[in-house]
A and B are shown apart, each in its own frame.
Chain A
């Protein structure tokens, strides 16, 4: 396990290094931040002064070297707009996005797994077919449209839930979280559901396919031959095997939910990282964009690592074969 872990961490570092080069080059190629930051009537001299202050007058390789040197010390640059450490600006908005993604993840498991199992047990039944065809809707309806419709229905027409923003927060271990207050939860529900809808459809599909496959296995037949109740067979024998692919995919999807909740956050004016990213791209705030992308890469790498560990926890076969290697 330790050897495996070390090897995986080595691979992860390589991925981060490659991404650093790509991200820096890509962002460098877009637009001229000085033109946006400076007063429209600024003289060339003033423009040069701004460029010099931000370090934008130096050659590309030098800028990159400085970036890498600072990054290694945990400094991902200073925001042009906020004049604050880019990482700080992003991390301030991280808890909001994290809890949005987390609530969405929980929702998609709670919705997706039971429906997927039901559909998998009776693929030709009415319930199974209804679930599967409805899940196609979840896949194909655009996120922003669903968000708008939910706002229209629950916030405007029924007035049950607020349409935008983030609710009251409480500090949990120094992190401001809103999912522990009623007001916060009511603000979270609509965006989280919007975000969860696509994932639920995905989970339904995977759970359905997994259940169908597992039900045909010899060990399920043996379990039946032992006289076990269908309930025990599904809840223990099928569920545990079926969760292996679900966990894999959800792990990857959690990363994409954190990194790319952009559309949902914009629709609901939810003050998370996604909205910050859109704002920063519009203002050509390069350090924020670079820091955001680096952080995203980092999160993906960590999640992948955790998923592999979880995998080993669920599936003893992984544990054994990795212990050998």
Chain B
């Protein structure tokens, strides 16, 4: 078995607030191999973005990584000095963000912003760096890249800006790219283009991709595997086709049910009742229990542990929905399937 390029173990991120210590990410573990795409799915406030930022060591006070390990190419990042992290960011791990309108500095030209990303990690001439930036722009499908290098961000559309951000992030051929909802703010048609471009670019360079989103339909076509987060924990994980086809956790099932689909025309859209819980006021049992249609007494008192299932899957649930066959737990929960 090869070592994964990104190996996150028992990651715990806490924020000290006025209401006390809040655990935004609690015991998250996942691994991504070179060239693999992992979807990190969850509602707002589920801790998915914080997890992404933690991978780059970008958690600012009052937040901090309280426990766990993040290894990129077998090098431990947790506990590293800011200077050491600087060398890793943009070189081994890159990140793109949600809103392309605000990711690029409005008062600096594109060439400045791209060349500095190269020269932060390599001693190359201005000219050579510029050529690399131009080639990178051409690769993400920006027409007449040489001229566009001299443009300011406001001279680009949203989709084009996100392309520039992607080109910038991939300049140093990082081993891992963390993409924090990069298509959420874009038109649907542009979304699809960007998705396939990022996928192709990552496949080409063998970059492992962590795609953070709340949109399961994006994950379905893009990712190899998926981790569903709820209230700072991964509640279900596994190969993307299996998870979407036969979700184990009721929360995953709820998410899938609330995706609009052509086949369900005329039927009111299913929704998960209630709201994401406040992290400072989590119930003692399963955080999803108050919103769950399958919750039983143990759900309200005992926090469910991570239970592995065959086919490389796992979930945290006392009443799993659709447990793959040949597992000891299979008979326990069948009657609850709707």
Q: Is the CB of A316 within 8 A of B97?
A: no
B89 within 8 A of A: yes
Total count of chain A residues near the partner, CB < 8 A: 24
B94 within 8 A of A: yes
CB-CB under 8 A from A316, the residues of chain B are 106-107, 152, 154-155
B196 within 8 A of A: no
Q: With A218-B99, A232-B120, A316-B154 as given contacts, are A227 and B107 in contact (CB-CB < 8 Å)?
A: no
Which residues of B from 54 to 69 have beta carbons under 8 Å from A? Answer: 56, 58
Where chain A touches its partner, the secondary structure class is helix
B135-146 CB mask vs A (1 if < 8 Å, else 0) is 000000000000
B334 within 8 A of A: no
Binds B, one of A86-94, A198-206, A235-243: A235-243
CB-CB under 8 A from A223, the residues of chain B are 105, 113
B93-135 CB mask vs A (1 if < 8 Å, else 0) is 0111111001111111000110011001100000000000000
CB-CB under 8 A from B97, the residues of chain A are 218, 221-222, 225
Where chain B touches its partner, the secondary structure class is mixed
Q: With A227-B117, A228-B116 as given contacts, are A236 and B91 in contact (CB-CB < 8 Å)?
A: no
Q: Is the CB of A227 within 8 A of B87?
A: yes
Q: Is the CB of A226 within 8 A of B168?
A: yes
CB-CB under 8 A from A133, the residues of chain B are none
A60 within 8 A of B: no
Q: Is the CB of A226 within 8 A of B105?
A: no
A8 within 8 A of B: no
CB-CB under 8 A from B89, the residues of chain A are 224-227
Q: Is the CB of B102 within 8 A of A320?
A: no
B88 within 8 A of A: yes
CB-CB under 8 A from A227, the residues of chain B are 86-91, 117, 120-121
Q: With A227-B89, A316-B106 as given contacts, are A222 and B155 in contact (CB-CB < 8 Å)?
A: no
CB-CB under 8 A from A237, the residues of chain B are 105, 108
Taken together as a complex, chains A and B put the C-alpha atoms of A316 and B150 apart, in Å, by: 12
| Chain B, Cβ-Cβ closest to A320 | B154
Q: Is the CB of A222 within 8 A of B116?
A: no
| Chain A, Cβ-Cβ closest to B88 | A227
CB-CB under 8 A from A230, the residues of chain B are 82
CB-CB under 8 A from A226, the residues of chain B are 89-90, 94, 116-117, 120, 168-169
Residues of chain B having any CB pair with chain A under 8 Å:
56, 58, 82, 86-91, 94-99, 102-108, 112-113, 116-117, 120-121, 152, 154-155, 165, 168-169
